[in-house]
Amino acid sequence: MALFADLNIVNTSDTDRKRLQSLIENAAHLGYSTVAINHVAEFQGKKLEIAKPIAVTELYPSPPIVQGKSKPIKILTRLTVIVSDAAHCNDLRITSPHTRSYDIVAVLPKTEKLFHVACMTLDIDLICINVIEKQPFHFRRPSVNGAIERGIYFELAYSPAIKDSTMRRYTISNALSLMQICKGKNIIMSSAAERPLELRGPYDIANLGLLFGLTEGDAKAALSTNCRAALLHGETRKTALGVIYTVKKASATEEKDEGTPLSKRAKTKSD
Amino acid sequence: MVRFKSRYLLCEIVFENPLSRQCIEEKNIYKTVKDAIVRAHGDFGFGCCSLSLAVKYLNAYTGIILLRCRKDFYRVLWSALPFITFLENKNQKYPCFFNTLHVGGTIRTCQKFLIQYNRKQLLLLLKDCKTKGERESVERSVLSCSLKELEGDRS
């Protein structure tokens, strides 16, 4: 049974707890098992201020129960960084202390070069596709394929489409141009909801995916399995820094010592 | 045997202000859905969905509606429903959104689903009941949910 997740609930101000609570209750009523509260960070001048994420236990002592299941809804934190200059990405390359505390890290690139850099080298989980304005650059196949190999997902937000007619046109045209290059793989759809009325049920959004050019199976996966995969990607980014891979070899130690100069050989070996 | 096959969309209208549920009427919903189809899919959408578009069932207390349309074009209608943001009645706008619960081929399957759904809602309400009298009336309603009778009343 698929678990639906909505990975983008905008946190506009830290003081407005009630609005967040009503949003999360609405998401639980609609059937989403996981939501992520999104903190948007934009550069002012040259400094980037990344706030600390909201403490989930402060919101709810006991989270509301998901409609149709008996488990409470899972609430995660997420950071979106809007980059328009190459110097801004330094925080995202290595695991910096700021981004460690968030469960998911996303980036919204504004130029083609940054899009390529984000697909290939940056340490992120999601790449947001701009739906509010006409995309100034076209997507390139090598960048998109590189991102798919690394396990990075592309995110489409649907609440601007609900609010305004011109946004609807930009959303559909940007989504279709992405679809032509990536053929429906690695896509996530989420609401960028600020008010509780901007959320929509998961089956409605899967249907919207058909409008964006996804196949039926892909559209449903965009809400369930792909979201789960992005969450797991975020978890491994948080926890794993390197992998040690051991291979059993018969004469491993002798071969290793032959390469090192005499003075540095292990003194414990009986000479 | 040639029969017009249709699809029935069971939707729940969720309002921002729960009191405005009393004001929904069949004609308003029909008009709102048609306008949404025109805005999303244009004249083609309007033409193909209006073939047998009808509001078959409406429950003002719970906000559940049942829409019917042709089997070949139900996706056109379904994809226009998320874009509805308000219902208009006597020049007053009520903000709301449509949440699709079930798509069925006949009214009977939708009714079966609706009974199960209402039973789950009643069980959730049972959890939040504060007084003993409320608990008893909700428990009685849960027990009376079956296909032979009408959908269980909400307390």
Contact A78, A36 (CB under 8 A): yes
Do residue B13 and residue B83 come from a single domain?
A: yes
Last residue in a domain, options B105, B122, B140: B105
Do residue B90 and residue B36 come from a single domain?
A: yes
Q: Give the residue among A99, A98, A89, A96 at the shortest CA–CA distance from A120.
A: A89
Do residue B31 and residue B48 come from a single domain?
A: yes
Contacts of A211 in chain B (CB under 8 A): 79
Task: Find tokens 């304005």 and name the residue.
Answer: A133
Q: What is the pLDDT of residue A258?
A: 47
Q: What is the pLDDT of residue A48?
A: 63
- CATH of residue B55's domain is 3.30.70.3250
Tell me which amino acid residue B28 is. N
Q: Which of B97, B113, B122, B128 to mutate to test the interface with A (most CBs of A within 10 A)?
A: B97
CA distances from A144 to A149, A179, A203 (A): 9, 11, 27
User: Residue A137 has what DSSP assignment?
Assistant: S
Is A35 in the B-facing interface, judged by CB distances under 8 Å? no
Q: Do A207 and B98 touch (CB under 8 A)?
A: no
Do residue B38 and residue B100 come from a single domain?
A: yes
Q: What is the pLDDT of residue A31?
A: 86
| CA dihedral for A205, A211, A213, A214, sign (positive or negative) | positive
What is the band of A5 on the pLDDT scale with cuts at 50, 70, 90? confident
Compute the nearest-CA separation of A30 from chain B (Å).
8
Do residue B97 and residue B49 come from a single domain?
A: yes
Compute the nearest-CA separation of B1 from chain A (Å).
30
Do residue B97 and residue B132 come from a single domain?
A: no
ipTM score for this prediction: 0.80
Q: Do A199 and B83 touch (CB under 8 A)?
A: no
Q: Where are the beta strands (DSSP E) in A74-231?
A: 74-83, 104-109, 126-128, 153-157, 187-190
Which member of B78, B96, B120 has the closest CB to residue A68? Answer: B120
Contacts of B104 in chain A (CB under 8 A): none
Please enumerate in sequence order all residues whose Cβ is within 8 A of that of A53, keeping only pairs 6 or more positions apart, or say none: A37, A39, A77, A79, A101, A102
Q: What is the pLDDT of residue A44?
A: 63
Q: What is the pLDDT of residue B152?
A: 42
Q: Do A207 and B78 touch (CB under 8 A)?
A: yes
Q: What is the pLDDT of residue A46?
A: 59
Q: Render each residue's pLDDT in chain B as its tens digit; 155 residues.
A: 678 889 999 999 888 877 777 777 888 889 989 999 998 889 999 998 888 898 998 888 888 999 998 988 888 899 889 888 888 877 778 888 888 988 999 999 999 999 988 888 888 777 777 777 777 777 777 777 665 544 444 43
Compute the nearest-CA separation of B48 from chain A (Å).
17
Q: What is the pLDDT of residue A264?
A: 53
User: A244 or A255: which carries more pLDDT confidence?
Assistant: A244
Q: Do B99 and A210 touch (CB under 8 A)?
A: no
The reported pTM is 0.80
Residue range A31-55, pLDDT digits in tens:
888 888 888 887 766 566 666 777 7
Compute the nearest-CA separation of A199 from chain B (Å).
8
- Would the pLDDT of A108 be above 60? yes
Report the residue of chain B nearest A22, measured CA to CA.
B16
Is A208 in the B-facing interface, judged by CB distances under 8 Å? yes
Contact A4, A31 (CB under 8 A): yes
Residue range A155-203, pLDDT digits in tens:
988 888 888 888 888 888 898 888 888 888 889 988 888 888 888 888 8
Report the residue of chain B nearest A159, measured CA to CA.
B83
Tell me which amino acid residue A214 is. L
Do residue B2 and residue B65 come from a single domain?
A: yes
Q: What is the pLDDT of residue B10?
A: 92
Contact A83, A41 (CB under 8 A): no
Contact A102, A77 (CB under 8 A): yes
Do residue B37 and residue B76 come from a single domain?
A: yes
Contacts of B82 in chain A (CB under 8 A): 158, 162, 200, 204-205, 207-208
Please enumerate in sequence order all residues whose Cβ is within 8 A of that of B155, keeping only pairs 6 or more positions apart, or say none: B122, B125, B134, B137, B138, B141
Do residue B93 and residue B115 come from a single domain?
A: no
The number of folded domains in chain B is 2
Please enumerate in sequence order all residues whose Cβ is within 8 A of that of A64, keeping only pairs 6 or more positions apart, or say none: A24, A25, A28, A29, A72, A73
Do residue B75 and residue B139 come from a single domain?
A: no
Which member of A67, A162, A205 has the closest CB to residue B85? Answer: A162
Report the residue of chain B nearest A210, measured CA to CA.
B79
Q: What is the pLDDT of residue B1?
A: 60
CA angle A114, A237, A177 (to 5 degrees): 40
User: B103 or A244: which carries more pLDDT confidence?
Assistant: B103
Do residue B73 and residue B31 come from a single domain?
A: yes
Structure-block tokens of residue B81: 């429903």
Do residue B16 and residue B61 come from a single domain?
A: yes
Which member of A29, A196, A204 has the closest CB to residue B82? Answer: A204
A residues 226..265 contacting B (CB < 8 A):
none
Largest CA distance in chain A: 82
* Residues spanned by the domain of B59: 1-105
Compute the nearest-CA separation of A228 from chain B (Å).
23
Compute the nearest-CA separation of A28 from chain B (Å).
12
d(CA B74, CA B83): 16
User: B21 or A77: which carries more pLDDT confidence?
Assistant: A77
User: Residue A51 has what DSSP assignment?
Assistant: P
Mean pLDDT of chain A: 80
Q: Do B82 and A26 touch (CB under 8 A)?
A: no
Task: Find tokens 């980037």 and name the residue.
Answer: A48
